[in-house]
Chain A
Amino acid sequence: MAAELARRGLADHRRALAGWCVGIAAYCLLVASIFPSIKGSEAITTLVRNYPDALKSLFGISSAGDLSSGAGFIDAELFSLILPLLVLVLAIGSGARTLAGEEEAGRLELVLAYPVRRRDAVLAKGAAVAAEILLASVTGLLALLVLDPVFGLGLSLGRLAAAMGALAALGLLYGWLALALGAWVPSKLVALAAPAGYAAAAYLVSGLHSLAGWLDPLRFLSPFWLIGASPLQEGVDGWGVLVVLAAAAAVLGAGAVLVERRDLEVP
């Protein structure tokens, strides 16, 4: 029944999803392959130490760590920006497309004329979005697990898994936010733009809150700050991840309630 919508959601995005997974694995390979050439390099450590604090903060370069260790390097090159960016673009795109996009294309009318409760449709589509994010995260995890011994990254398996898990939680929050916005208002633009704007703002707050005092109280609203900025060097914040997951569930639940109240938009 409604489970068919989850199945179809995944099937509709399978090509795009495969592309994302290949892209994530390829980028991991690219970054990891650079590591041996700067491993233990004093020059790079000195260079980075001289970066402005704001830059270090934004790129996840912790005060203690440095780019010449595997964990520091992967934190700065993957987990600080590129991996969250890839996962969030996938998540927001998928969340916006599966409901708001289908509605704008006029394909929701026939589906909702079937014996399917709207909120079940939202939840089923939420499950499909979650599965996509999980697949992309697991791909990244597997890629780094394979690359770790090859390029001598020396990563902690536990921290790597936790970092990918936290990343998946982040993706879930933004993907479900896009889905829920589409459930609330019939606009793909809103479903794309609002989570993207929130992500950009939250990223900046997480990176800069310690430098700009007035941003400091806002850090609790930043999912990036909640999960921790240097997951391989300092570990992820387990409670923060739980808060992010709870927020994701609340947002999806709100979408499931709100979708029942409005009219379907037909082109």
Chain B
Amino acid sequence: MAAPAIETRGLTKVYGSVRAVTELELRVEAGEVFGYLGPNGAGKSTTIRMLLDLIHPTSGAASVLGLDSRRDGVEARRRVGYLPGDLRLNDRMTAREQLDSLARLRGGVDDGLRGELCDRFGVVLDRPIRQLSKGNRQKVGVVQAFMHRPRLLVLDEPTSGLDPLLQAEFRSLVRETAADGRTVFLSSHSLDEVQHVADRIGIIRAGRLVDVDAVGRLRERALRHVAIVFAEPVDPERFGRLDGVRLEISDRTTVRLSAPERAIDPIVKEASRHAVVDFVSQPADLEELFLELYDEGSDGG
């Protein structure tokens, strides 16, 4: 069996009294697109920097493509493409010079692929980087991350600054990369950035991994908002007792509730015992699930 693309064991980073990442157990399989979601300051970038040996773990270990991130860091990074969350390029260089320089630093890249990527994202090659907009700089960052056809891509907030058209282009690039059997680790604070491309999503909050699940399963768990209007008064508690259902504001003839996918069938069966005037079920809102997970325990610790 192939080594996982990323594996961390008890990975912990402490800054003074602040635990930036705590006992992280993460496993990303080769060939998957993994979304690493969490609010700002949750420890996403800290995790990534430990994977790339930019900072050293306080305890625990990480391996990247089967290579220890510290001992075999150079070999590991040879196979990784990285796009930092806060990309700083050499402002005086043109994008072409910057990419040339990075290609030499890597010891050579696939020039054909590099050219293709530049065309695809419309990189402005011959103006000094200081004259480029945030989005145009970000394109340079995307190209340098992909240009050596790495086995693993580690992308921190990759689409920030890109317009919607380029975001779509970026998503198809990520899908192609996964279809090619390579792995993409996508870090973001925004569900929107990852939900359409990620196979699985891990949620980190205050340095701890609070949930890892397939996007489809998360959708199933996410709550639908259901409103049922009856011809006659009903007892809302009959719905409230169903497993997973939460009653919201109801009056005698209208029942509003939120429920996961598995509770929809019992709700419909219960409703059918009365004359139904209207039945509205809104699609699952993952965002809400995330806000809930982001929030969870922030009061309790």
Query: A and B bound?
Result: yes
Asked if A117 and B74 sit within 8 Å, CB to CB, the answer is yes
Q: Which of B30-38, B84-92, B243-251 contacts A (4 or more CB under 8 A)?
A: B84-92
Known interface pairs A107-B89, A109-B88; A114-B54 also in contact (CB < 8 Å): no
Nearest Cβ on chain B to A109's Cβ, whole angstroms: 5
The chain A residue with its CB closest to the CB of B105 is A4
The chain A residue with its CB closest to the CB of B144 is A110
Interface string of B26-56 (1 = CB under 8 A from A): 0000000000000000000100010010111
Known interface pairs A1-B107, A264-B55; A115-B84 also in contact (CB < 8 Å): no
The chain B residue with its CB closest to the CB of A110 is B84
Nearest Cβ on chain B to A157's Cβ, whole angstroms: 39
Q: Does A221 contact B (CB under 8 A)?
A: no
The chain A residue with its CB closest to the CB of B80 is A113
In whole angstroms, how far apart are the Cα atoms of A110 and B141 in the complex? 9
Q: Does B274 contact A (CB under 8 A)?
A: no
Which one, B77, B80, B84, B92, contacts A109 given CB within 8 A?
B84
* Contacting residues, chain B, for A266 (C-beta < 8 A): 45, 49, 54, 86
Interface string of A172-209 (1 = CB under 8 A from B): 00000000000000000000000000000000000000
Among residues 91 to 116 in chain A, which have CB atoms less than 8 Å away from a CB atom of chain B? 105-107, 109-116
In whole angstroms, how far apart are the Cα atoms of A110 and B195 in the complex? 27
Q: Does A149 contact B (CB under 8 A)?
A: no
In whole angstroms, how far apart are the Cα atoms of A208 and B80 in the complex? 57
- Give the size of the chain A interface in residues (CB under 8 angstroms): 24
In whole angstroms, how far apart are the Cα atoms of A7 and B75 in the complex? 23
In whole angstroms, how far apart are the Cα atoms of A105 and B92 in the complex? 13
Q: Does A216 contact B (CB under 8 A)?
A: no
* Contacting residues, chain A, for B104 (C-beta < 8 A): 1, 4, 7
* Contacting residues, chain A, for B88 (C-beta < 8 A): 105-107, 109-110, 267
In whole angstroms, how far apart are the Cα atoms of A266 and B77 in the complex? 18
Which one, B49, B56, B75, B90, contacts A107 given CB within 8 A?
B90
* Contacting residues, chain A, for B45 (C-beta < 8 A): 266
Asked if A263 and B105 sit within 8 Å, CB to CB, the answer is no
In whole angstroms, how far apart are the Cα atoms of A106 and B54 in the complex? 12
Asked if A116 and B105 sit within 8 Å, CB to CB, the answer is yes
Nearest Cβ on chain A to B103's Cβ, whole angstroms: 9
Asked if B54 and A264 sit within 8 Å, CB to CB, the answer is yes
Among residues 102 to 137 in chain A, which have CB atoms less than 8 Å away from a CB atom of chain B? 105-107, 109-117
* Contacting residues, chain A, for B82 (C-beta < 8 A): 110, 113
Known interface pairs A12-B92, A263-B56; A113-B84 also in contact (CB < 8 Å): yes
Asked if B106 and A115 sit within 8 Å, CB to CB, the answer is yes
- Give the size of the chain B interface in residues (CB under 8 angstroms): 26
Interface string of B92-117 (1 = CB under 8 A from A): 10000000011011110000000000
Which one, B55, B75, B90, B106, contacts A114 given CB within 8 A?
B106
Asked if B106 and A263 sit within 8 Å, CB to CB, the answer is no
In whole angstroms, how far apart are the Cα atoms of A263 and B75 in the complex? 19
Asked if A115 and B56 sit within 8 Å, CB to CB, the answer is no
Nearest Cβ on chain A to B195's Cβ, whole angstroms: 26
* Contacting residues, chain B, for A113 (C-beta < 8 A): 52, 54, 77, 80, 82, 84
Nearest Cβ on chain A to B41's Cβ, whole angstroms: 13
Nearest Cβ on chain A to B137's Cβ, whole angstroms: 12
Asked if A115 and B55 sit within 8 Å, CB to CB, the answer is no
Known interface pairs A4-B105, A12-B92, A263-B56; A114-B87 also in contact (CB < 8 Å): no
Asked if B101 and A8 sit within 8 Å, CB to CB, the answer is yes
Q: Does B78 contact A (CB under 8 A)?
A: yes
Q: Does A61 contact B (CB under 8 A)?
A: no
The chain A residue with its CB closest to the CB of B86 is A106
The chain A residue with its CB closest to the CB of B56 is A263
* Contacting residues, chain A, for B105 (C-beta < 8 A): 1-2, 4-5, 111, 114, 116
Among residues 1 to 32 in chain A, which have CB atoms less than 8 Å away from a CB atom of chain B? 1-2, 4-5, 7-8, 12
With A1-B105, A110-B102, A115-B77 given, name 16 new contacts (CB 8 A).
A4-B101, A4-B105, A7-B101, A8-B90, A106-B86, A109-B49, A109-B84, A110-B84, A110-B87, A110-B89, A113-B52, A113-B80, A262-B56, A264-B55, A266-B54, A267-B86
Task: Sample 19 A-B pairs with CB under 8 A, ordered by A number.
Answer: A1-B104, A1-B106, A1-B107, A4-B104, A7-B101, A105-B88, A106-B86, A109-B54, A109-B86, A110-B84, A112-B52, A113-B84, A114-B106, A115-B107, A263-B55, A263-B56, A264-B49, A266-B45, A267-B86
